[in-house]
Amino acid sequence: MSIERVIEGDTLILNSETGQELLRLRESTDGTAACAAVSGRLINEIVHDVEDELVALSLASEKVIIDMDEASYISNAMIRSFLELQHLMDAKNGELVLKGLSDEVFSVFEDMGVEDVFMIERK
């Protein structure tokens, strides 16, 4: 699958080759943390695009908050990417917070047995 990257201000939009929007990732800072608000589906095909954005955020801040309130799905591959991000944050004594996880999204973390690795704030 070919992915189209569109940047609108502080928002990365990932579209499929047919133009269907797959994901929006809006970046912001609140003075103490870098934040990424995700809406859509965190599927295998966009893992590297999302990972690139999140790693850049982790380099810019000691605390990264990923707001997944509007994320409807997460793949195992994306969780593995989050694990790598957690290791990066741990290595610099930083903090990664995953917030707004729905029951469906949280259950994927549970199925992989990694729910205790992250600081998670559920809906």
Q: What is the pTM of this model?
A: 0.92
Instruction: Report the domain count for the chain.
Output: 1
Q: Which helix (H) or strand (E) holds 79?
A: helix 76-91
Residue 97: per-residue pLDDT: 97
Residue 7: per-residue pLDDT: 94
**Number of neighbouring beta carbons within 10 Å of residue 59:** 12
* CATH code where residue 24 lies: 3.30.750.24
Q: Are the C-beta atoms of residues 66 and 54 closer than 8 Å to each other?
A: yes
Smallest CA-to-CA distance from 37 within 58, 55, 11, 14 is with 11
Residue % of the chain over a pLDDT of 90: 92
* Chain segment 26-75, per-residue pLDDT in tens: 999 888 899 999 999 999 999 999 999 999 999 989 999 999 999 999 99
Residue 77: per-residue pLDDT: 95
Average pLDDT value for residue range 88-115: 96
Reading the block at residue 68, the tokens are 């997944």
Q: In whole angstroms, what is the distance from residue 44 CA to residue 30 CA? A: 29
Containing structural domain, residue 99: 4-122
